[in-house]
């Protein structure tokens, strides 16, 4: 039985004061909620250190939204894996579609980031997913397979066990157009089949595969009850205490 993992990707939202207030609300809400769901929050860089102090001794884990694959040096504006570790991050989101489309990240840069994160003791939340154009062309499985194979190139079995995969169809992100449970489950099952081919079934069966794209409290139950959907990577709905807790309750 895989546990459920709910992660909140805050994206470029909430200043420090707003971050403190959201985290307090989440912690208070979780106190009255007996749940064995793993909860991860991924605030912007500027709130990470404070967030790390606030989530200490709670069930909430901390992640960042991105990092660079070099250790240090002349990379103006970038943040390294060891910097994220030093402020208490356990997780890092890598390969989000907004990083791919707006900032030009490729499968190959994402692969380098995955290796650097793992070598630095960070657990990657590795995002994949097709665009609307790719879905309409009928190449969803080809795209997702390429992202899995290229993104995970040279990742060994022991390291694979540390990775969470987030399937986020790009057309469902921030659009309110959630994938149907059948559409999502079909791709999740395909991803697991690819993982079995790459890593054998005992490893593939352990891997958490989250769904992301317009997840809300009212659609979470049907998505999360699919056999291969092990959690959610939540955008908009993670910025409000009630909706984020509502999704956790759905588990
Ligand atoms: P929304 O939940 O706002 O659609 O965002 C999903 C997402 O991109 C999470 O990483």
Enumerate the active-site residues. Answer: 96, 168
**Secondary structure (DSSP) of 157-182:** HHHHTTPEEEE--GGGTTSS-PPPHH
Query: Are 60 and 41 a contacting pair, CB within 8 Å?
Result: yes
Give, to the nearest 10 degrees, the angle between helix 241-250 and helix 217-224: 20
In angstroms, what is the span from residue 65 Cα to ligand 1's centroid?
12
In angstroms, what is the span from residue 234 Cα to ligand 1's centroid?
5
Query: Burial, 202: exposed, middle or buried (Cβ in 10 Å; 0-12, 13-18, 19+)?
Result: exposed
Q: Mind listing the pLDDT tens digit for each residue in 144-181?
A: 999 999 999 999 999 999 999 999 999 999 888 889 99
Which domains are delineated in the chain? 4-250 (3.20.20.70)
Residue 160 Cβ contacting ligand 1 at under 6 Å: no
Residue 129 Cβ contacting ligand 1 at under 6 Å: no
In angstroms, what is the span from residue 49 Cα to ligand 1's centroid?
23
| pTM of this structure | 0.98
Sorting pLDDT into bands at 50, 70 and 90, what band is 34?
Answer: low
The C-alpha atoms of residue 197 and residue 193 are separated, in whole angstroms, by 6
């Amino acid at each position: 039985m895989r546990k459920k993992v709910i992660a909140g990707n805050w994206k470029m939202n909430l200043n420090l004061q707003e971050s403190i207030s959201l985290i307090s609300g989440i912690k208070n809400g979780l106190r009255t909620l007996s749940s064995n769901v793993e909860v991860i929050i991924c605030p912007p860089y500027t709130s990470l250190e404070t967030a790390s102090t606030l989530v200490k001794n709670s069930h909430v884990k901390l992640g960042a939204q991105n990092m660079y694959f070099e250790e240090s040096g002349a990379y103006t504006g970038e943040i390294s894996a060891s910097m994220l570790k030093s402020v208490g991050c356990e997780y890092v989101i890598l390969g989000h579609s907004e990083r791919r489309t707006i900032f030009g990240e490729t499968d190959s840069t994402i692969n380098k980031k995955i290796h650097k994160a793992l070598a630095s003791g960070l657990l990657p939340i590795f995002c994949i997913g097709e665009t609307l154009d790719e879905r309409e062309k009928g190449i969803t499985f080809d795209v997702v397979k390429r992202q899995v194979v290229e993104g995970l190139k040279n990742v060994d079995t022991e390291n694979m066990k540390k990775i969470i995969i987030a399937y986020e169809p790009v057309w469902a992100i921030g659009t309110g157009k959630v994938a149907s449970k059948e559409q999502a489950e079909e791709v999740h099952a395909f991803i697991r089949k690819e993982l079995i081919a790459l890593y054998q079934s005992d490893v593939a069966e352990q891997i958490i595969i989250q769904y992301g794209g317009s997840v809300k409290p009212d659609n979470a139950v049907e998505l999360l009850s699919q056999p291969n959907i092990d959690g959610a990577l939540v955008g908009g709905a993670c910025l409000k205490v009630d909706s984020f807790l509502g999704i956790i309750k759905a588990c």
